Amino acid sequence: MDTNTVQQVTLEDTPRIKRKSSYKQPWMLHFMVLPAVVFVFIFSYVPMSGIVMAFQDYKAALGISGSPWVGLKHFRYMFENEYFLQITWNTLFFACTKILMNLIIPFIFALLLNEVRNTGLKRSIQTLVYLPHFLSWVILAGILIDLLAQTGLVNQMLTHLFGIKPIFFLGDGTWFRFTIIFSDVWKEFGFNTIVFLAALAGINPALYEAAEVDGASRLKQTFHITIPSLVSIIVVVGTLALGNVLNANFDQVFNLYTPLIYKQGDIIDTFVYRQGLLSGQFSFATAVSLFKSMISLTLIVISYRLAYKIAGYRIF
Amino acid sequence: MYHKALSYRVFTVFNNVLLTTTAIACLLPLFHLLMVSFSSTAPANSGLVTFWPIGFTLEAYAKTFNNANFLSSLWVSVQRTVIGTALAMFVNAIAAYALAKDTRIFRARNIYLWYFVVTMLFTGGLIPNYILILKLGLMDTLMALILPGLVTVYNVILLLNFFRTVPKDLEESAFIDGAGYFRSFISIYLPISLPALATIALFTMVGHWNAYFDGLIYIKESKNLPLASFMQTIIVQADMTKFDPVMVANMSPRTIRASQIFIGALPILAVYPFLQRFFVKGVIIGAVKE
């Protein structure tokens, strides 16, 4: 910003350059944003107007303009529906546990990785743990389905090593929850360490040197320099995650769940998909998804405000 | 000097072993499946394969590459990845260039920016999107897989933050030589931002390659199905009808599925070294800006 104003001043102070000729009229800039504006209008704003369906009994033959209005009928039905409360709880449970785990585990991993002096080893570890992040949930679900099957490798090992009877990891509600959390950590913990490693690299080395002179052990340095220096980044990451408390990860659950464990494994997004696209209840599904969007929107706005207030974080 | 303390040395050894084990454990499941895909039917079916192939064979891969449905899906995926990424890069980069301009020069900048950011905060949701594609007559077309996600606001913001770090003197001298905004974008900003553009292009490509859900809901004809959706039906829904029954008669569904998993992951594994070189930078640009 500062260099920018300096430039502006020198430009205005130079009499020989006519400003009109160097900074052309902005019509060209409008023209450059135009394609993006058009695509966003069609594929984001037009669907936004489609949420009025939540207040109608949408019939494909009648369209949005012809379908009868029913007010808050779908919302009333939603809140009286016990199953809806159950999946909201499931969603919250999954999302919050994942947020917490994906904050704590990457943080500890980053701290430990920071102690690895051998650069080659450090790089290799990073390469291996970042990889699952880039594989899709289809691939990972395929691996998990095979691995966690009754006769899969995990159950085989459990039987051989500990004599445990095979566990239905994907067929038993409680184990399903465990699998969801665990596999999410597997996919994301490595990638989530990046932001902490970046913050670790930014700590002023003079602090450590001073502690060294005072004879502090590495453990003491960790507790009195490293962790306090990372508090602000933890707060930012944690606050921004607030907007995700209703995002339990559709792709993951969709590819791993079965009707057997709907009670403990179904989430809002998969419910919307089944109600809307499989059962054709467009209006009810839209109402459920609107409810979710409204809460998420509120939380995102609050979380960004908080992140800005606490740590001065801005996206642009 | 803590490095020399005995307790720290013991810790280092322990720490290195722990982290290495964890890192290897992360990839062991993939490795196991790879070995299953290389094994012959009987040992794979009876679960004898662990971390070494038994009765090494490439039959599952051969069967997959002889499957017409697989090949047409592969072609759809290549098309959507190439066309989708090229289009997205152009539209996003050119918008980011304009939005990187200062408010004094481009007064509408903030209005446009908010126009885009709103779509990050609030979306119409699954059903209205589905009806839109239906109404636009895009069902069963390649464009249904490309156009809806063309503008990625997050990438526009990453790029505009990057464009703002380009020294303004470069552009000003071009203006004095008579260049316009478009010329400056093409001849100055694009070449100078190549690393940032490459990062975002790679991420967009990975996104296209991995996307399966749009294919499942927007594509009805199996010959138009992208590979990720095709594989989802085989790997997750265990639907073997997309294979010629005679061809897979004495094959283990398990080795077929395992080979699909690897064929699907292969392009990602191939670009991963390049991705890794870039993404750390990309994430840092996004996370701790200025």
Q: Which amino acid is at B153?
A: V
pLDDT for residue B136 = 94
In angstroms, the CA A136 to CA A252 distance is 9
Cβ neighbours, 10 Å, residue A67: 19
Cβ neighbours, 10 Å, residue B1: 7
Q: What is the pLDDT along chain B (290 residues), one digit of tens a residue?
A: 677 778 888 899 999 999 999 999 999 999 999 998 888 887 777 777 778 888 788 888 888 888 888 899 999 999 999 999 999 999 999 999 999 998 888 888 999 999 999 998 888 889 999 999 999 999 999 999 999 999 999 999 989 988 988 888 888 888 888 888 999 999 999 988 888 888 889 889 999 999 999 999 999 988 899 999 998 988 887 777 766 666 666 677 788 888 888 888 999 888 888 777 776 655 544 443 33
Contacts (Cβ under 8 Å, ≥6 apart) of A298: none
Closest approach of A82 to chain B, Cα-based (Å): 23
Dihedral sign for Cα atoms in the order B30, B35, B41, B45? negative
Q: Compute the C-alpha angle A5/A6/A11, nearest 5°.
A: 95
**Of A282, A256, A250, A294, which is closest to residue A268 (Cα–Cα)?**
A250
In angstroms, the CA A278 to CA A12 distance is 63
**Of B76, B34, B78, which is closest to residue B263 (Cα–Cα)?**
B34
Give the residue carrying structure tokens 């990372």: A230
Query: Contact A239/A307 with Cβ under 8 angstroms?
Result: yes
In angstroms, the CA B234 to CA B240 distance is 6
A36–B92 C-beta distance less than 8 A? yes
Closest approach of B171 to chain A, Cα-based (Å): 9
In angstroms, the CA A85 to CA A237 distance is 28
A251–B20 C-beta distance less than 8 A? no
Q: Which amino acid is at A251?
A: D
Cβ neighbours, 10 Å, residue A66: 10
In angstroms, the CA A252 to CA A250 distance is 6
Residues of B in contact with A53 (CB under 8 A): 127-128, 131
A4–B126 C-beta distance less than 8 A? no
Structure tokens at B215: 């294919």
Structure tokens at B197: 């553009």
What domains, with CATH codes, occur in chain A? 73-311 (1.10.3720.10)
The shortest CB-CB distance from A276 to any of B7, B105, B127 is to B127
Q: Which amino acid is at B158?
A: L
Structure tokens at A143: 């691996």
Decide which of 3.40.50.300, 3.30.160.110, 2.60.40.10, 1.10.3720.10 is the CATH code for B61-287. Answer: 1.10.3720.10
* Residue B213: closest C-alpha in chain A: A251
Specify burial of residue B151 (Cβ count, 10 A radius: 0-12, 13-18, 19+): buried
End-to-end CA distance of chain A: 12
DSSP structural state of residue A150: T
pLDDT for residue A7 = 46
pLDDT for residue B185 = 93
In this prediction, the residues of chain A whose per-residue pLDDT falls under 70 are 1-25, 315-316
B260–A33 C-beta distance less than 8 A? no
3-state SS assignment for residue A129: helix
pTM of the model: 0.86
* Residue A59: closest C-alpha in chain B: B131
Residues of A in contact with B280 (CB under 8 A): 194, 198
Q: Which residues does residue A56 pair with via DSSP β-bridges, in sequence order? A: A69
A47–B128 C-beta distance less than 8 A? yes
pLDDT for residue B248 = 63
Residue A169 phi, psi dihedral angles, 5° rounding: -60, -35
String of DSSP letters for B221-239: SGGG--HHHHHHHHHTS--
From the candidates B92, B121, B127, B206, which should be mutated to test the interface with A, based on the most A CB atoms within 10 A?
Answer: B127
* Residue A295: closest C-alpha in chain B: B122
pLDDT for residue B289 = 38
Contacts (Cβ under 8 Å, ≥6 apart) of A117: B12
In angstroms, the CA A137 to CA A127 distance is 19
Query: Contact B122/A293 with Cβ under 8 angstroms?
Result: yes
* Residue A113: closest C-alpha in chain B: B19
B175–A121 C-beta distance less than 8 A? no
Residues of B in contact with A130 (CB under 8 A): 276, 279
B33–A147 C-beta distance less than 8 A? yes
A134–B268 C-beta distance less than 8 A? yes
B151–A36 C-beta distance less than 8 A? yes
Query: Contact B99/A33 with Cβ under 8 angstroms?
Result: yes
**Of B133, B144, B137, B130, which is closest to residue A277 (Cα–Cα)?**
B130
Alpha helices in chain B (DSSP H): 6-38, 41-45, 59-65, 68-99, 109-121, 126-135, 143-146, 153-163, 168-176, 181-184, 190-192, 194-210, 213-218, 227-235, 253-287
Residues of A in contact with B95 (CB under 8 A): 32-33, 35-37
The shortest CB-CB distance from B95 to any of A33, A135, A297 is to A33
Residue B262 phi, psi dihedral angles, 5° rounding: -75, -35
**Model-level ipTM above the cut of 0.90:** no
pLDDT for residue B106 = 87
3-state SS assignment for residue B266: helix
* Residue B119: closest C-alpha in chain A: A44
The shortest CB-CB distance from B265 to any of A109, A139, A272 is to A139
Q: Which amino acid is at B78?
A: V
Query: Contact A56/A67 with Cβ under 8 angstroms?
Result: yes
